[in-house]
């Protein structure tokens, strides 16, 4: 940043320069520089429209295009020198343009205000961010589906209240996570529809007296249409709020998954091991391998929720139309997208796989301890419900069956064995309806296979779900 003595663009009506501290307090350039490519994109479309309606000459348009092109190149090369005296990205670019091309630069702002300009920039920026996040969400889903396919038959205890409840397959569990991300992708797509509207033309708040063509600008910028009310166009940030709400849900989902990964990685569970590169050691305890990545994913959910609350609070007291409060929309939004992008990319990799160059074999980054999962399901009496269902099918009312099985579990617990280890005689002691065929339902595989309907955990159903999701995702295994 290089301080300049140039007076502010609006200084004409003021009798003294702005206080230095106020300048720092009100400037947004330290963060809104990120909008530069989108500000230029918006200005190019605005200029093309002004030319079309006869406000800019051929020469003006050519100058503006050349100047903005150079500024974009400077920005991309990290050469663009922004200046705090110029307050924000819009003034910084306008000043740079005018320095490069003279009067044409000064004509660009005809029929426009920074109010509709910034609203347009933020929408263009957010639309692009949503598209990037969709790609990352998709990658995370592909990782989960690929891993689920490997484990369509791997048995683990399903939990309620974090107590072993009924057997499920690990693939089924992973596909539950995938469902969450599928809805997240839907939410982003839905939010994008409302982001993708053009505020430009609203000018400061009331529209403009120039013969502008908003639909033309919208078309040039790939917007689905224009914001229909000028006051609303410059002032509302609900599109950003709903994006943050969708983002907070993505992080909430990642956080829940992370919590499970952390639990599963403790030696007590020992269900999985994360690849070393996603973990760190302890500075004092040599034996430790800490799941830092899932813990941080869980932790970063807090800042995302904070950003959502920040924007909701920012909006709630604002009268129409634009107020400077809205400048505060950017940092939460930028940080939210950075956080989401990092979180999704790292999660997709951590849960993902790659093809080993030497052997050509697919290597999954999560190591799954199928034996431990299976043992936990057995120790948790996960087939108790199956025994109750068995007795019901033999004619016992469900409440009585529940009672009989509860007593059987208690007996097994005292003996320190599984339900399937009780003899037929012992089992008949709890209900005389028990036959030798009972052992079929007491196995984990029997329990899984019995849940054979859409959404159930039977391996065949898990495979069918994988096929359906792959169809929607398009393409197969990750690269």
Given the complex with ligand ARG, which of 115 and 431 has the nearer CB atom?
115
Kindly state the number of chain residues that form the binding site for ligand ARG, as judged by CB under 6 A.
10
Q: Which of 302, 313, 184 is nearest to 237 (CA)?
A: 313
Burial of 174 (0-12, 13-18, 19+ CB in 10 A): buried
| Residue 327 in contact with ligand ARG, rule: CB under 6 A | yes
Give the Cα separation of 473 and 203 in Å (integer): 41
- Where does this chain touch ligand ARG (CB under 6 A) — which range of 100-108, 323-331, 364-372, 389-397? 323-331
For the bound state, the minimum distance from the C-beta of residue 29 to ligand ARG, rounded and expressed in Å, comes to 8
Give the Cα separation of 373 and 355 in Å (integer): 26
Q: How, if at all, do strands 225-226 and 163-169 pair?
A: unpaired
Yes or no: say if 327 and 29 are a contact pair by the CB < 8 Å rule: no
Q: What count of other Cβ atoms lies within 10 Å of the Cβ of residue 453?
A: 8
For the bound state, the minimum distance from the C-beta of residue 248 to ligand ARG, rounded and expressed in Å, comes to 23
| Residue 41 in contact with ligand ARG, rule: CB under 6 A | no
- Where does this chain touch ligand ARG (CB under 6 A) — which range of 148-156, 285-293, 321-329, 428-436? 321-329
Please report, in angstroms and rounded to a whole number, the separation of the first and last CA atoms in the chain: 43
Given the complex with ligand ARG, which of 316 and 324 has the nearer CB atom?
324
Given the complex with ligand ARG, which of 141 and 330 has the nearer CB atom?
330
Given the complex with ligand ARG, which of 114 and 253 has the nearer CB atom?
114
For the bound state, the minimum distance from the C-beta of residue 113 to ligand ARG, rounded and expressed in Å, comes to 7
Yes or no: say if 167 and 377 are a contact pair by the CB < 8 Å rule: yes
Which two structure tokens, joined as six digits, stand for 72? 């974009």
For the bound state, the minimum distance from the C-beta of residue 361 to ligand ARG, rounded and expressed in Å, comes to 52
Can you spell out the DSSP letters for 436-477?
TTHHHHHSHHHHHHH--STTS--HHHHHHHHHHHHHHH-S-S
For 1, half-sphere exposure in the C-beta direction (CA atoms, 13 angstrom radius) is: 15
By CB under 6 A, name the one of 161, 268, 324, 453 that touches ligand ARG.
324
Give the Cα separation of 20 and 22 in Å (integer): 5
For the bound state, the minimum distance from the C-beta of residue 324 to ligand ARG, rounded and expressed in Å, comes to 6
For the bound state, the minimum distance from the C-beta of residue 91 to ligand ARG, rounded and expressed in Å, comes to 8
Q: How, if at all, do strands 272-274 and 366-368 pair?
A: antiparallel
Given the complex with ligand ARG, which of 97 and 274 has the nearer CB atom?
97
Yes or no: say if 124 and 38 are a contact pair by the CB < 8 Å rule: yes
Given the complex with ligand ARG, which of 31 and 216 has the nearer CB atom?
31
Give the Cα separation of 154 and 168 in Å (integer): 8
For the bound state, the minimum distance from the C-beta of residue 305 to ligand ARG, rounded and expressed in Å, comes to 23
Given the complex with ligand ARG, which of 326 and 447 has the nearer CB atom?
326
Active site residues: 161, 282
Which two structure tokens, joined as six digits, stand for 423? 């003899």
For the bound state, the minimum distance from the C-beta of residue 1 to ligand ARG, rounded and expressed in Å, comes to 16
Beta bridge mates, 363: 354
**Residues in the chain, total:** 479
- Give Cβ neighbours of residue 149 (< 8 Å, ≥ 6 apart): 171, 463, 466
By CB under 6 A, name the one of 143, 178, 235, 326 that touches ligand ARG.
326
Q: How many helices (H) and strands (E) does the chain have?
A: 20, 8
The footprint of ligand ARG on residues 81-120 (CB under 6 A) is 88, 114-115, 118
Given the complex with ligand ARG, which of 109 and 172 has the nearer CB atom?
109
Give start and end residues of each alpha helix (H) in 356-397. Answer: 370-379, 384-393
Can you give the binding site for ligand ARG, defined by CB under 6 A? 28, 32, 88, 114-115, 118, 322, 324, 326-327
């Amino acid at each position: 940043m290089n301080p300049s003595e140039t007076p502010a663009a609006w200084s004409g009506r003021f009798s003294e320069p702005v206080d230095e501290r106020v300048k720092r307090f009100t400037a947004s350039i330290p963060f809104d520089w990120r909008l530069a490519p989108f500000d230029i994109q918006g200005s190019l479309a605005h200029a093309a429209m002004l030319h079309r309606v006869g406000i800019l000459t051929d020469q003006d348009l050519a100058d503006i295009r050349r100047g903005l092109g150079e500024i974009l190149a400077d920005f991309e090369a990290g050469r663009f020198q922004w200046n705090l005296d110029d307050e924000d990205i819009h003034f910084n670019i306008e000043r740079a343009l005018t320095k490069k091309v003279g009067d044409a630069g000064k004509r660009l702002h005809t029929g426009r205000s920074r109010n509709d300009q910034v609203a347009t920039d933020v929408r263009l920026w957010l639309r692009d961010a949503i598209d990037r996040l969709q790609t990352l969400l998709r990658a995370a889903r592909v990782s989960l589906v690929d891993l689920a396919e490997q484990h369509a038959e791997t048995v683990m205890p399903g939990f309620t209240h974090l107590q072993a409840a009924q057997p499920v397959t690990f693939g089924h569990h992973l596909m539950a996570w995938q469902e969450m991300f599928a809805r997240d992708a839907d939410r982003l797509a839905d939010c994008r529809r409302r982001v993708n509207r053009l505020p430009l033309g609203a000018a400061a708040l009331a529209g403009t007296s120039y013969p502008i063509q908003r639909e033309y600008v919208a078309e040039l910028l790939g917007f689905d249409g224009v914001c229909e009310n000028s006051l609303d166009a410059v002032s509302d940030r609900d599109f950003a709020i709903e994006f943050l709400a969708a983002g907070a849900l993505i992080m909430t989902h990642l956080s829940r998954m992370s919590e499970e990964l952390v639990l599963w990685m403790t030696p007590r569970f020992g269900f999985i091991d994360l690849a070393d590169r996603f973990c760190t050691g302890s500075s004092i305890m040599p034996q430790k391998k800490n799941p830092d990545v899932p813990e941080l994913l869980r932790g970063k959910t807090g800042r995302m929720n904070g950003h959502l609350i920040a924007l909701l609070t920012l909006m709630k007291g604002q009268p129409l139309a634009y107020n400077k409060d809205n400048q505060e929309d950017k940092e939460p939004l930028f940080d939210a997208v950075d956080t989401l992008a990092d979180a999704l990319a790292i999660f997709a990799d951590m849960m993902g796989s790659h093809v080993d160059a030497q052997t050509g074999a697919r290597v999954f980054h999560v190591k799954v301890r199928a034996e431990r999962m299976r043992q936990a399901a057995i120790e948790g009496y996960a087939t108790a419900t199956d025994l109750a269902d068995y007795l019901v099918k033999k004619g016992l009312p469900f409440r009585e069956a529940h009672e009989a099985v509860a007593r059987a579990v208690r007996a097994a617990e005292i003996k320190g064995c599984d339900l399937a280890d009780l003899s037929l005689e012992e089992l008949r002691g709890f209900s005389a309806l028990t036959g030798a065929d009972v052992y079929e339902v007491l196995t984990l595989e029997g329990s899984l296979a019995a849940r054979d309907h859409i959404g159930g955990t039977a391996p065949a159903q898990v495979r069918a779900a994988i096929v359906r999701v792959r169809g929607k995702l398009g393409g197969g295994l990750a690269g």
